[in-house]
Amino acid sequence: MRILILCTGNSCRSQMAHGFLQAMDSSLEVFSGGTQHAARVNARAVEVMREAGIDIASHIPTHVNVYLDQEWDYVITVCGGANESCPAFTGKVGRRLHMGFDDPSHAEGSPEFIDSEFRRVRDEIRAAFARFYRSEIQKEKFHEHTP
């Protein structure tokens, strides 16, 4: 099963979702991209994911255009900007979903507050993608193996 997770910068929320979903099931082909991809993954996102036991330090932000002509079982946007500007895919897309999350990289305040925002969003992403995995992926996998 092939899943593409999109965000504007592909440096934070989509990378976290990518990391969680891949960790839930290594048989999934999970990719992430951005409509205006950043130069690198956000260092705080790497840090809070490491706290959760997932290493996304080697992930590289990728422009969504790389994926346009490929086939996807799911294309999931995790921010309003990507949901609105998500280009039309020329390849086959089974289902397109939107799960919006606040952008912790826009948090302002003390370092402690900013870190707490990254953790809050990380935990929301983990919970939402766990629900998605249980309700969609496991259900589809069960149906694939049921005669």
Which sequence positions are flagged as catalytic? 7, 79, 86
Cβ pair 99, 76 in contact under 8 A: yes
Which 3 state secondary structure label does DSSP give 75?
A: strand
Tell how many helices (H) and how many strands (E) occur in the chain: 5, 4
Cβ pair 8, 34 in contact under 8 A: yes
The DSSP call for residue 10 is S
Cβ pair 67, 61 in contact under 8 A: no
Cβ pair 57, 28 in contact under 8 A: no
